Amino acid sequence: MINISEIRTSLFGVVGLQQSYNPAYAILAADLIASTSGAYFNQYSSYMTVENLKSTQPYADISDANFNIWLRSVITNSISTAIQKCFKSDLFENALLYDRSIRKSTTLDNDGDFVGYEIIVSKRKDMKSFINKAILDFSGTGTVKLLLFHDSQVDPLQEQEVTISDNSSTEVALNWGLDYGSVQGGKYYLGYLTDGLTPKAFERDYEDSNVPHQYTGVGLFPVKVTGWNSETMFDISDVVNVSETFGLNFDISSYRDYTNLVVNNKDMFIDVIGYQFAADMLGMMITSIQTNGIERIGKGNLLIELQGGFINEELPTVVGINTKLQKAIKEVQENLTDIPLIQKFTVK
């Protein structure tokens, strides 16, 4: 997974556009002609000029100011597309906390405590875990309010009310992220308050139903805070590890987060960004409704530039931008294999 917003901001300006020598088209803002790598889009296709882009973009009579805005948008979109093409499946792990059958016979009393799980996440910024959903097993009917805390914050990060079905498993989608990088360490706590609660949690006391899955990227440990009845973060010194499971089960996934890798290795992606922008703009030019610009450039020329092809016996076969883009993507993927991403570890 990738933080697209951060990637766009970080990689914008790695490759730039060259200002036109024609005074009538010397209209690019400073951020568009900046290039931290020294690479420019016209190096990837000679058709990437201000004149060609402006004469074939979708909006007739566009102002210079709006043309700059449009360029920023299409460049950032090309950056997003290019980076996403470089990475294959980012799912690292997915499993239920408890995957064995539960016999619904023993219930736990509601004693006015906070009960749930202490969650410790991998201390790596290239991994992120998500609680995809919660599965609640309770006796009786009513509402259980799930609360997700981080020990650095007073108020809950997330909350979700769940309407309980008597003696039936109740599933609720959460998609709550557990991100080490954004909170800089610490622990999460996910559970509910039992003060005044009507439904009673079923305990996992049937054979090995209480044996948890051992995740690689995250660790969950059942806890309670005696007498805590406030929807605010408690003193972590009051947290007690216990053996009960409190009627809670979770579906959890961990993903490789490539954001920091990309940000810290920008030069690795220069060619992919350059060729992706060229491919996107050539595609736009080919389908442009601004006929004057297309007639001047020639649609056949644009198709050969994008897809490659044979021109005549005196000239070599043209390798298209799409082919060059695929080669650049493959080179990035090969280089990525030399960068360590996720290592197995013990969370507690």
Q: Report d(CA 280, CA 75) in Å as an integer.
A: 9
Give the pLDDT band of residue 79 (cuts 50, 70, 90): very high
High-pLDDT (> 90) share of the chain, %: 66
The pLDDT value given to residue 313: 63
The pLDDT value given to residue 346: 45
The pLDDT value given to residue 345: 42
The pLDDT value given to residue 315: 59
- On the question of pLDDT at 343 being above 60, the answer is no
Q: Which of 91, 87, 89 is nearest to 329 (CA)?
A: 87
Give the pLDDT band of residue 344 (cuts 50, 70, 90): very low
- On the question of pLDDT at 267 being above 50, the answer is yes
Residue with tokens 């290239």: 126
170 Ramachandran zone, left/alpha/beta (phi>0; psi -120 to 50): beta
The pLDDT value given to residue 233: 97
Using only the alpha carbons of the chain, give its radius of gyration: 28
Q: Going from the N-terminus, what domains does the chain have, and what CATH number goes with each?
A: 4-88+260-336 (no CATH), 91-257 (2.60.120)
Q: Which of 12-21, 178-187, 206-215 has the lowest mean pLDDT?
A: 178-187
| Bridging pattern class, strands 200-201 and 39-40 | unpaired
- On the question of pLDDT at 38 being above 70, the answer is yes
For residues 28 and 93, which has the higher predicted lDDT (pLDDT)? Answer: 28
Q: Which of 258, 215, 2, 255 is nearest to 129 (CA)?
A: 255
Average pLDDT over residues 193-197: 96
Tell me the residue length of the chain: 348
Tens digits of residue pLDDT in 286-329: 988 887 777 778 888 899 999 987 666 665 677 899 999 999 99
Average pLDDT over residues 144-165: 94
> For the packed helices 299-307 and 321-336, what is the interaxial angle rounded to 10 degrees?
20
Strand order in 91-96's β-sheet? Answer: 91-96, 248-256, 127-136, 170-178
Tens digits of residue pLDDT in 219-262: 999 999 999 999 999 999 999 999 999 999 999 998 877 778 88
8 A C-beta contact, residue 131 and residue 252: yes
- On the question of pLDDT at 182 being above 60, the answer is no
Report the chain's mean pLDDT, rounded to a whole number: 88
Q: Which of 146, 141, 159, 147 is nearest to 198 (CA)?
A: 141
Q: Which of 51-60, 265-274, 297-306, 336-345 has the lowest mean pLDDT?
A: 336-345
> What is this structure's pTM?
0.66
